[in-house]
């Protein structure tokens, strides 16, 4: 049994399941325990049509992370289609009070910020809050948060889990965290009523594990840019339009940021084509400090976390985009770069290969010399590339339709509609 962020939890093995007791995070005495019945007996709402509760993400809008961008694009479309959506967000990433974003109700839940247990603790709270609000359908994003799937199903909710990637392969996690992530994946496979897989690699794996629920591949999508923001927005970073390579990424080991910086230095292009890296950390870390030190030594530009017009300007005026990652689910940042017509480079991992770019786009993961070669090819090639044929299957409107159909199949398997 372990206590963290106001939660005392234990997983039983016979019968399998999860037991939760919540400590009131607002109480002056954190040992005051709120009965589970008290939590589950408040705030029930009448069910009207499709009513989806969403957990597992940091929040929306404009929060860095692939899952967050996925949810920001998907759920307003479900609302416009007549659904009702409540997203449970983590306090500290969004304003303190509940608010609406394009019709989606965003409800912050307070949880201590911690690299190792933040997502787990928050999702446990979200499961109980969803039940207290009368939820019939809960959508959990990510295999770590999916550790709570047995609890949610025992509380009478239908549960959909989106498998965004094999997070236990990420370099940042230690042994205990990887064990928890594998347990979350196992719980999703054993207990979820439906599993959405964002790539063929994930789909094949989940189907091979013989899941309890229905399974479907529904990929990430991409928003098509309406117009390019003015180049003057680049001035704050001393960048020139058409004279920098771009990566948008969180500062985590599996993104391969040092490989890109070293490849850029080795390319010999630094005097005429800069390197901009847009993103940052969720929590301060020695790894983040090492990125900042390497960038300062090489002359690479770190813009920090950007969104909206600033992000559009970085994409819209870049010479090319390079994604040197070791691990992805299905890379939204690569799809975004494609939507801007950028020449591309990407590591030859399966999720990047699934996008179907030209063979010369790809380079071996971790190979700075190969990255340097690809950067030189981009610098000597066309300034824009038409990726529209590849982007057809990543249309968010079609993805929203598929998601709605999947929800209906989960809620009423007897009237299942074929994909």
Sorted by where each starts, the structural domains of the chain and their CATH numbers stand as 2-221+396-415 (3.40.50.2000), 231-392 (3.40.50.2000)
Tokens of 345: 């480079």
Cβ proximity of 317 and 334 under 8 Å: no
Regions in the chain scoring below 70 on pLDDT: 1-49, 114-116, 415-419
Check residue 116 and give its pLDDT.
Answer: 61
Question: Residue 154 and residue 128: Cα distance in Å, rounded?
Answer: 11
Distance between alpha carbon 402 and the CA centroid of its chain, in Å? 19
Check residue 262 and give its pLDDT.
Answer: 98
- 45-50 own/partner pairs: CB under 8 Å, 24+ apart: 45/133, 45/134, 46/134, 47/134, 47/136, 48/84, 49/82, 49/83, 49/84, 50/78, 50/82, 50/83, 50/84, 50/137, 50/404, 50/407, 50/408, 50/411
Question: Residue 25 and residue 129: Cα distance in Å, rounded?
Answer: 14
Check residue 418 and give its pLDDT.
Answer: 59
**Residues in contact with 186: Cβ distance below 8 Å, sequence separation at least 6, in sequence order:** none
Cβ proximity of 88 and 54 under 8 Å: yes
């Amino acid at each position: 049994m372990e206590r963290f962020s106001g939660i005392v939890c234990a997983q039983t093995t016979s019968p399998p399941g999860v037991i939760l007791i919540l400590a009131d995070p607002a109480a002056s005495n954190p040992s005051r325990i709120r009965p589970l019945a008290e939590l589950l007996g408040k705030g029930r709402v009448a069910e009207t049509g499709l009513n989806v509760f969403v957990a597992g993400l940091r929040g929306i809008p404009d929060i860095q992370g692939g899952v967050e961008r996925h949810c920001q694009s998907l759920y307003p479309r479900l609302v416009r289609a007549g659904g009702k959506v409540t997203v449970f967000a983590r306090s500290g990433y969004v304003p303190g009070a509940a608010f609406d974003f394009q019709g989606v109700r965003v409800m912050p839940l307070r949880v201590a910020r911690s690299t190792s247990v933040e997502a787990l603790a928050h999702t446990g709270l979200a499961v109980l809050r969803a039940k207290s609000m009368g939820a019939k359908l809960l959508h959990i994003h990510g295999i770590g948060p999916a550790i709570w799937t047995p609890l949610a199903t025992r509380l009478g909710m239908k549960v959909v889990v989106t498998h965004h990637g094999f997070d236990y392969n990420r370099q940042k996690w230690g042994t205990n965290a990887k064990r928890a992530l594998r347990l979350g994946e196992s719980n999703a496979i054993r207990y979820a009523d439906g599993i959405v897989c964002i790539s063929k690699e994930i789909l094949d794996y989940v189907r091979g594990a013989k899941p309890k629920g229905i399974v479907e591949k529904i990929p990430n999508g991409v928003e098509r840019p309406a117009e390019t923001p003015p180049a003057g927005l680049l001035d704050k970073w001393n960048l020139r339009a058409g004279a920098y390579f771009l990566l948008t990424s969180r500062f985590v080991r599996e993104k391969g940021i040092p490989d890109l910086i070293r490849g850029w230095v080795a390319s010999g292009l630094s005097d005429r084509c800069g390197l901009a890296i847009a993103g940052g950390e969720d929590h301060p870390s020695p790894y983040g400090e090492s990125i900042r030190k390497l960038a300062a030594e090489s002359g690479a530009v770190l813009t920090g976390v950007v969104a909206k017009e600033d992000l559009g300007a970085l994409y819209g005026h870049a010479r090319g985009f390079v994604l040197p990652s070791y691990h992805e689910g299905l890379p939204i940042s690569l799809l975004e770069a494609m939507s801007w017509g950028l020449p591309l480079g990407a590591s030859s991992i399966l999720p990047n290969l699934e996008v179907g770019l030209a063979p010369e786009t790809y380079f071996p993961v971790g190979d700075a010399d190969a990255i340097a070669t690809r950067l030189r090819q981009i610098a000597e090639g066309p300034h824009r590339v038409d990726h529209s044929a590849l982007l057809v299957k990543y249309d968010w409107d079609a993805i929203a339709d598929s998601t709605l159909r999947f929800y209906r199949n989960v809620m009423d398997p007897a009237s299942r509609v074929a994909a």
